[in-house]
Amino acid sequence: MNTIIKTTDAINVNKDIINEAGAIIKRGGLVAFPTETVYGLGANGMDEEAAAKIYAAKGRPSDNPLILHISDIGMLEDIVSEIPENARLLMDKFWPGPMTLVFKKKPGVPYGTTGGLDTVAVRYPAHNVALEIISAAGTPIAAPSANTSGRPSPTKASHVIEDMDGKIDMIVDGGEVGIGIESTIIDVTSEIPMILRPGYITKGMVEELIGQVQVDKVVIAKSIEEIGGDYKPKAPGMKYRHYAPKAELTMYEGDIENVVKKINSLSEIAVTEGKKVGIIATEETKNRYNASKVVSIGTRKDEASIAKGLYGILRDFDTMDVDVIYSETFYDDDLGQAIMNRLIKAAGYRIETV
């Protein structure tokens, strides 16, 4: 398939490009577009056959449900059977924005988009290109992150091209995204809402608004044992190894002096074994490592910069063809919880205390 690639300004969107993208979605095709979190791979969410093409293009397991993206609150009526009070509070405060809510679905939403579940995840993104494409398509758009299943989510169009060129109808390049990690997912069908995936909207922000909130244990677990072998994450996607670079990634946690020492000594050994080493450092530590591929993920003073750089760095290590990656850890509160959640999964739970 020949993939059309078009570039538009993210604020003053090019209407011709939007109309072309909308028409492709309407006729059951696939279009990748930017949102404020990561790039999404969109199809008509009310059309099971169109949604099936998403699974094929990504190589995604069919029990992993898709998020429906809307461009105005009115669109909720056709897809959601009930809006609990807590959901209203969250919607008023954080929509449009990087938050996905899980509701009970209406019968019209096909099981082909919800992975067979009776619930549906809905997101109202805060990005002009996404909003205009949804409006032009005139239907909720089902959109997972626009990466091949298991690879880091795309934060720029070039990442989407790497994974999807030739497999989808169109890629709309609207520049680099602002946030860089996927939306916070909150299940509002239970009396006390539950965070299923952490993101830019933090537990603290949700608690401040609605009081109590639970967190699915897969979000914070630092080992497979903590989760328990039979436990099924409430967001089916959280069970898959995800966000993974090609090289084996291990994280080292503890006093930063010890971490730097440990990573330096491991790199020396790896280099003598003929391995190419990548290190995920911070602005604060990047000059203290002696391996050749030291990449700074941002400064500890600004967690948002770390979130934004994360997936690009994991992809860069693939391009540099490193054999092993060593990483520092980050605080696991606020936005740090989302960063650590993604990194721990990228590391396949290889995390050591030093």
CB of 194 to ligand TXA, least distance (A): 10
Window contacting ligand TXA (CB under 6 A); options: 3-11, 138-146, 162-170, 322-330: 138-146
Nearest Cα neighbor of 8 from 181, 170, 180, 179 is: 170
Q: Rule CB under 5 A: say whether 145 interacts with Mg ion.
A: yes
User: Which of ligand TXA, Mg ion, none does residue 235 bind (CB under 5 to 8 Å by kind)?
Assistant: ligand TXA
Q: Rule CB under 6 A: say whether 119 interacts with ligand TXA.
A: yes
Q: Rule CB under 5 A: say whether 100 interacts with Mg ion.
A: no
CB of 7 to ligand TXA, least distance (A): 19
Contact criterion met (CB below 8 Å) for 270 and 324: yes
CB of 279 to Mg ion, least distance (A): 26
Nearest Cα neighbor of 115 from 238, 224, 198 is: 238
CB of 243 to Mg ion, least distance (A): 8
Q: For the CA atoms of 115, 117, 120, 121, what is the dihedral angle to 10 degrees?
A: -60
Q: Can you tell me the distance from the alpha carbon of 347 to that of 327, in angstroms, rounded to the nearest whole number?
A: 9
User: Which of Mg ion, ligand TXA, none does residue 131 bind (CB under 5 to 8 Å by kind)?
Assistant: none
Window contacting ligand TXA (CB under 6 A); options: 18-26, 120-128, 160-168, 303-311: 120-128
Instruction: Tell me the number of residues near ligand TXA by CB under 6 A.
Output: 30
CB nearer to ligand TXA: pick between 29 and 278: 29
CB nearer to ligand TXA: pick between 295 and 307: 307
User: Which of ligand TXA, Mg ion, none does residue 123 bind (CB under 5 to 8 Å by kind)?
Assistant: ligand TXA
**Which tokens is 325 given?**
């990656």
**Which tokens is 289 given?**
């490592």
Q: Rule CB under 6 A: say whether 234 interacts with ligand TXA.
A: yes
Q: Considering only residues 46, 67, 218, 339, which one is a binding residue for ligand TXA as defined by CB under 6 A? A: 67
Window contacting ligand TXA (CB under 6 A); options: 33-41, 80-88, 270-278, 300-308: 33-41
List interacting residues with ligand TXA (CB under 6 A).
35, 37-38, 40, 64-67, 100, 102, 114, 117, 119-121, 123, 125, 143-145, 182-183, 185, 196-197, 234-238
